[in-house]
Amino acid sequence: MTRIVGVCGSRRAESTTRAAIAHALDAAADVGAEPDLLDLGTVDLPLYHPDRDEQGESAALCARVRSAHGVILGSPVYHGSYSSTFRNFHDYCGKSEYENTAVGLVATAGGGSYGPALEHMRSTVRGVHGWTVPEQVGLRKASRKVEGDRIVDADTRERLERVARQVVWAAERLHGRE
């Protein structure tokens, strides 16, 4: 079975990013993938230190990404880029986690701008040899599109479903599972 890990780079209790990633994972499950939500707001992950190989839950979290065929990365937009929570986790990851892995990107903005965050995420994924799919989702004024843990905007739901389907499709081809 094709395994898809969704990484939520938010620590907020009422996270629009988590709702978006969860919806995308549900869509991946609808096309036969095995979903796995990695919620960085609930894990023990100290600030990355390059002189220490493993800290907190870093080894187990990286193993989950490494074992995935596809990954959907999500981050809230902070100051025009991704969150420090996302970046800290991503610093623990390398080529062994992402090489030959299909990756979808999701950025949720409280205001209007998400473009630079998606570009920064794409660049960091490319740096660790991940295969970013063409579809990506940026949400302006995300809190208007989410109620609790549900995506209430139909267009947003469809866009998240499309990125999930692309990640599953690409993951199956990268791993000979067509």
Number of helices (H), then strands (E), in the chain? 6, 7
pLDDT in tens, 26-67: 999 999 999 999 999 999 999 999 998 789 999 999 999 999
Q: Which 3 state secondary structure label does DSSP give 90?
A: helix
Contact 69, 100 (CB under 8 A): no
Q: What is the CATH number of the domain that holds 117?
A: 3.40.50.360
Q: Which 3 state secondary structure label does DSSP give 120?
A: helix
Contact 6, 133 (CB under 8 A): no
What is the number of structural domains in the chain?
Answer: 1
Per-residue pLDDT, 77:
97
Full residue range of the structural domain in which residue 19 is found: 3-174
Asked if pLDDT for residue 128 goes beyond 80, the answer is yes
Over range 123-144, report the average pLDDT: 96
pLDDT band of residue 178 (cuts 50, 70, 90) is low
